[in-house]
Structure 1
Amino acid sequence: MTMDAITFPNGRITMAGNLHLPENLDATAGSPAIVVVHPGGGVKEQAAGLYASKLAEHGFVALAFDASFQGDSGGEPHHLEDPYARVEDVRAAVDHLQSLDFVDAERIGALGICAGGGYGVNAAMTDYRVKALTTVVAVNIGTSFRRGWYGTDSDAAAVPTLGALARQRTAEAAQGAEPAFLPYVPAEPDENTPSDLVGAADYYLTPRAQHPNAKNKFLFTKSVSRIYTFDAFHMVEDLLTQPLLVVAGSDAGSLWMSTELHGRARGPKRLRIVEGGTHMDFYDVPEYVDQAVSSAALFFQEHLTAEPADRV
């Protein structure tokens, strides 16, 4: 397996990615390819890169990239988490893969991790160039922000935060205040922090997976208004027609989002719940990553390597 650092266009933004290539790639034959979408707050060198490298070991061309406005990718203001832009990032990644002579433009799939799973779903619903989709510990970021990590709050729980956002925007626009940022994961978890988010802090903020391009911050006023109105699964029942594999851990606080996605999807679908797995286990713990990758590789081999008439 080899990896090439690349750039590709996304409108006026230059995207930065790592293209993982399988050993003995035949440049004259169209290979199946996977777009790998990183979690919120992540970068291509973390979980997305790990999954891309392992998919390449299974024979797939795999592209992990930094979201626009984040990491090494362009876009201003930086540190913006814009769900609609992130969905467009997936489409731009498909554009790039289709431009490569050694990729079969009709055999492109997507794999998204955490919020990247939700973004992958939303992209696939409106871009049928994505022929098969896998989510790993999927998070519907808008719903999660409104209802909380466990999904127990009502959407109206977002109202106080939106009030604070309005006040902060006034301070920045009319009073010259500096832009405010929020953390993706709690820097100092306490006894009230969900266990998955304690694990997220350990992943992102310690040598376990810390990276200088993952700053653990996003713009408050410009990101939250976009996130709170975003629903990655809106119209999934009618628009997601491609085969879907949903992978999640039995002990993940995010499990409810994976089971909701699987329950609502009406096309060909599979649900793989890995016993004992927490949300963060699927970022880098070999036991769980390997199970997710093995399931995804078999799924993509079935749906991206068969002739079109043979695909389910």
Structure 2
Amino acid sequence: MKTAVTFPSAGLRLAGHLYTPDDRIGGRRPAIVVSHPMSGVKEQTAGLYAERLARAGFITLAFDAAYQGESEGEPHLLEDPSHRVEDIKSAVTFLILRDEVDAERIGALGICASGGYVIPAVATDHRIKTVATVSAVDTGSMFREGVGRTQAPEVLQAMLDAAGEARVEEARGEPARLQQIHPDTGEQAMSLGQHTYDGWEYYRTPRGSHPRSANHFVFRSIDLIAQFSAFERIELVSPRPLLMIAGTAAATAYLSREAIEKAAEPKELFWIDGATHVDLYDREEYLPTVIAKLDDFFTAGLGAASSAVPLHGLR
């Protein structure tokens, strides 16, 4: 069952979808926070993963990050890594306050950019007992260095100059300057490479598009993103279990490989053979394997989803 919910995060109200299993087992269950990619909303891949994991027996929460989708925050479409990390922690608080959730069995799942945001959230929030990522991305690295670290240094310097100008424009009362994310056409996207085309094909076609996935971000987000480093303290996740899932054909696969090397045990990097970064968002060729792996991982870390803890005697 899917229920629309709201909860606070650093002074803003976030909109989410709470997924609960359809069986009628009573008591408190393990729960998983599911966080979406940078340009996504809860109705896209995060909601798909949340729904599939709820079928496996977990309570799951997919939500729109601050400034995104149906959540509060102005200027809308600002991408603030620090707030994204706080949103994940606030989602955990929301779940802990739910009668149907076992507060001692909460995990987190981050997809794409949230695969980067979820790591610092878990590193310092011991309420989260286990964490997984799918197609993880460090947005800071991507903006500083480009995909594959092929971006010339002067590109970032020019963007930071423009971000400063954009801040002044907003202070003068002008609308927030926006930056388009995906090209207008498939031909334009393909001319920029397969990775760009894959993102366009998911977000800008009926495959994955959603009216609130706006294809823009506030330009001055760049000076917030550029100072962010997703995996700098990844070793603090230990001794809690870490699973990172990536496609062998993903342009971003090196980020998961490097992150898992820095992490402490217990940890696992699980490869999906032949999959690209965006394939893992929704492709039925790969999704059952990913969900089965996540089910096994969260069951091992949080306990069987079907074994609810009785309500009496807790809290």
Tell whether the structures are fold-level matches, with TM greater than 0.5: yes
Q: Residues 102 and 253 of structure 1: is their aligned pair in 2 closer, same or farther, counting only changes over 3 Å?
A: same
Equivalent-residue separation in structure 1 for 2:199 and 2:287 (angstroms): 16
Q: Determine the structure 2 residue equivalent to 1:74.
A: 72
Q: Determine the structure 2 residue equivalent to 1:63.
A: 61
Within the candidate set 143, 146, 157, 2:144 is matched to: 146
Q: Please state if 1:259 is matched with 2:257.
A: yes
* Residue aligned with 2:22, SS: coil
Q: Determine the structure 2 residue equivalent to 1:309.
A: none
Q: Residues 11 and 178 of structure 1: is their aligned pair in 2 closer, same or farther, counting only changes over 3 Å?
A: closer
Q: Is residue 131–residue 243 contact of structure 1 (8 Å, CA) maintained in 2?
A: yes
Structure 1 stretches of 5 or more lacking a match? Answer: 307-312
Normalised by the length of structure 1, the TM-score is: 0.92
Q: Determine the structure 2 residue equivalent to 1:14.
A: 13
Q: Determine the structure 2 residue equivalent to 1:166.
A: 164
Normalised by the length of structure 2, the TM-score is: 0.91
Deviation at 1:173, TM superposition (A): 3.9
Q: For residues 88-129 of structure 1, what are the alpha-carbon distances to aligned partners after superposition, in whole Å with 9 as ceiling and x for unaligned?
A: 000010001101111110100001110011111110011111
Q: Residues 233 and 205 of structure 1: is their aligned pair in 2 closer, same or farther, counting only changes over 3 Å?
A: same
Q: Determine the structure 1 residue equivalent to 2:303.
A: 305
Q: Determine the structure 1 residue equivalent to 2:184.
A: 187
- Length, aligned pairs only: 302
Equivalent-residue separation in structure 2 for 1:142 and 1:204 (angstroms): 21
Deviation at 1:237, TM superposition (A): 2.5
Q: Is residue 40–residue 184 contact of structure 1 (8 Å, CA) maintained in 2?
A: no
Q: How does 1:224-303 map to 2 (within 5 A)?
A: 224-238=222-236, 240-303=238-301
Q: Determine the structure 2 residue equivalent to 1:310.
A: none
Q: Is residue 30–residue 101 contact of structure 2 (8 Å, CA) maintained in 1?
A: yes
Deviation at 1:239, TM superposition (A): 5.1
Q: Is residue 262–residue 271 contact of structure 1 (8 Å, CA) maintained in 2?
A: yes
Equivalent-residue separation in structure 2 for 1:130 and 1:238 (angstroms): 12
* Residue aligned with 2:130, SS: strand
Q: Is residue 146–residue 154 contact of structure 1 (8 Å, CA) maintained in 2?
A: no
Q: Residues 252 and 220 of structure 1: is their aligned pair in 2 closer, same or farther, counting only changes over 3 Å?
A: same
Q: Determine the structure 2 residue equivalent to 1:34.
A: 32
Q: Is residue 115–residue 140 contact of structure 1 (8 Å, CA) maintained in 2?
A: yes
Q: Residues 257 and 156 of structure 1: is their aligned pair in 2 closer, same or farther, counting only changes over 3 Å?
A: farther
Q: Determine the structure 1 residue equivalent to 2:104.
A: 106
* Residue aligned with 1:286, SS: coil
Larger RCO, structures 1/2 (Cα 8 Å, 6+ apart): 2
Percent of matched pairs sharing the same residue = 43
